[in-house]
Amino acid sequence: MTTLRLVLGDQLNSRHSWFAQVDPEVVYVLMEIRQETDYVLHHAQKILAIFAAMRRFARALRAAGHRVHYLAIDAPANHQHLCTNLDALIARYAVRRFEYQAPDEWRLDQMLEHYACKLSISAQMVDSEHFLSGRREALSWFGSRERWLMERFYRHMRLRHAVLLDGSGEPAGGRWNFDADNRNPWRGTPPLPADIRTHHDHAALWKAITAAGVNSFGAPQAHSLPWPQDRAEALQQLEAFVANALPQFGPYQDAMHSEAPRLFHGLLSFALNTKMLAPREVIARVEQAWRAGAVPLASAEGFIRQVLGWREYVRNVYWSRMPEYGKLNALDHRRPLPSWFWNGRTHMRCLALAIGQSLSDAYAHHIQRLMVIGNFALLAGLDPQAVHRWYLGVYIDAFEWVELPNTLGMSQYADGGQITTKPYISGAAYIDRMGDYCKGCQYDKRARTGANACPYNALYWQFLDRHRGRLGTLPRLAVAYRQWDRFSTEARAEVREHAELTLQQLDSL
């Protein structure tokens, strides 16, 4: 009896129990399809890296003795749709049983659930064996609370998995969170770690992708693609990060610098989100380094909080609140994205750098995403759904389960504060404090109004002003509103006027 097992492009987990034994009656299928390249416009490197990793994964399965059917993007038999291809393969192999791992995206989960229900053969969904919590674990843990605070969930996960605890079960170092210690700008020292990543030549694959009619944006780097293609490369990258970058990760994780786009970040999220690496092993390796005295506690905790805390938390938010969550727009923001989101050509140096890096590298770290690009999008009232689609498409590690809550919830406050206690907004002062992005910019970081005033400043105060009815009672914005109220009537009018003029000419900023 032949069983067909589907492996999606973000399920490249070679240690899944499926692969523990070779069964000649099992056929594994991986497919490159337009359905997945086209549902949003994706960065070229994202398409290329996932397809290249899928191809290497398929070769490894074959080398281990497994039966594999691989549908390339340009294969004549490729119908370019998941379910249509599955129908053809079930008929071809006379399949009597269909199995698939739980998808991480609601869209695919619904599609495969409906597909499996209509089949006349046996069908089963199995766990992906990747995450440390269930899809909706936080739903039962938080209950009916209107706001879910990540910090509480993070502490729950630390205790449940015995991570960074002392001998009595208390948090190591006497604190759960060392975020206050991790906010330093980088001024050129300590020295940056070397980039040890392997660069791959995928020019032939890129030619096949473009010949198949797949549209994309951003620089493909087809002759020198830097993203890991298999678990061995991902593990090598993890070890290099722990040895060379993690010790300084904590203090400088929020820093930005025009000459150091990576700084001390690990760039491990692509390998994690495609399941080449497991979160459990990454967390264990970082904790091991701290216990060995090789890494400061603040750096280890800061990194583990991102993986054990935030990553698991946003997945729970996603699965507990979809599909309604994906449609939220609590602030009723409707403006389209300015054209420079697609080419990086803006006179605002911080945005030119952050967006330019995103377009060239398919990567930006969390502060560039949140406090430069996302901050401007929120202040300018850009459509959060359009912002979501851009983030989902541009970043190599962006899969909807993790990107959507980060964008709509944390970055754009489109959920009205379900997962944050305030909008993440600032004027130019924060951006200037955390790096050198304001240096050499044609706009004056200190000016609120005038021809050369930094657009962030007037937009910041206008945002607070126009949303006072919703945000004016938030405790974490009380100081900002008191400061706004101390402006003279004339100064407030000037800010409103300048901000409105700025919004009318977003494309030319």
CATH superfamily, region 2-126: HUPs (3.40.50.620)
Confidence of residue 137 (pLDDT cuts 50, 70, 90): confident
Checking if the pLDDT of 138 tops 90, the result is no
Q: Which amino acid is at 273?
A: N
* Mean pLDDT of all residues in 190-214: 96
Confidence of residue 87 (pLDDT cuts 50, 70, 90): very high
Q: How far is CA 124 from CA 3, 25, 98, 111, 501, in A?
A: 11, 16, 6, 14, 57
What's the CA gap between 189 and 268, in Å, rounded?
Answer: 23
Checking if the pLDDT of 150 tops 90, the result is no
Model pLDDT, residue 100: 98
Checking if the pLDDT of 145 tops 90, the result is no
Question: pLDDT over 70 for what percent of the chain?
Answer: 100
Checking if the pLDDT of 143 tops 80, the result is no
| Region of residue 188 (phi > 0: left; psi between -120 and 50: alpha; otherwise: beta) | left
Q: Do the strands 67-71 and 216-217 form a parallel or antiparallel pair, or are they unpaired?
A: unpaired
Model pLDDT, residue 164: 97
Checking if the pLDDT of 139 tops 80, the result is no
Model pLDDT, residue 468: 97
Model pLDDT, residue 149: 81
Q: Per-residue pLDDT tens for 344-391?
A: 999 999 999 999 999 999 999 999 999 999 999 999 999 999 999 999
Q: Per-residue pLDDT tens for 322-348?
A: 999 999 999 999 999 999 999 999 999
Checking if the pLDDT of 148 tops 90, the result is no
Checking if the pLDDT of 141 tops 80, the result is no
Checking if the pLDDT of 146 tops 80, the result is no
Model pLDDT, residue 334: 97
| Domain 137-196+230-321, second-level architecture | Alpha Horseshoe (1.25)
Checking if the pLDDT of 136 tops 90, the result is no
What are the residues whose beta carbons fall under 8 Å from the beta carbon of 182, sequence distance 6 or more? 250, 251, 252, 253, 254, 298, 299, 302
Model pLDDT, residue 278: 98
- Work out the mean pLDDT of the chain and round it to a whole number: 96
Confidence of residue 197 (pLDDT cuts 50, 70, 90): very high
| Domain 339-508, second-level architecture | Orthogonal Bundle (1.10)
Q: Per-residue pLDDT tens for 396-454?
A: 999 999 999 999 999 999 999 999 999 999 999 999 999 999 999 999 999 999 999 99
Give residue limits of the domains in the chain: 2-126, 137-196+230-321, 339-508
371: closest CA among 437, 415, 325? Answer: 437
Q: Which amino acid is at 375?
A: N
Q: Per-residue pLDDT tens for 450-473?
A: 999 999 999 999 999 999 999 999
The token pair that represents 167 in the structure block: 């001998």
The token pair that represents 317 in the structure block: 């938010």
Checking if the pLDDT of 270 tops 90, the result is yes
Confidence of residue 477 (pLDDT cuts 50, 70, 90): very high
Place of tokens 């938390």: 313
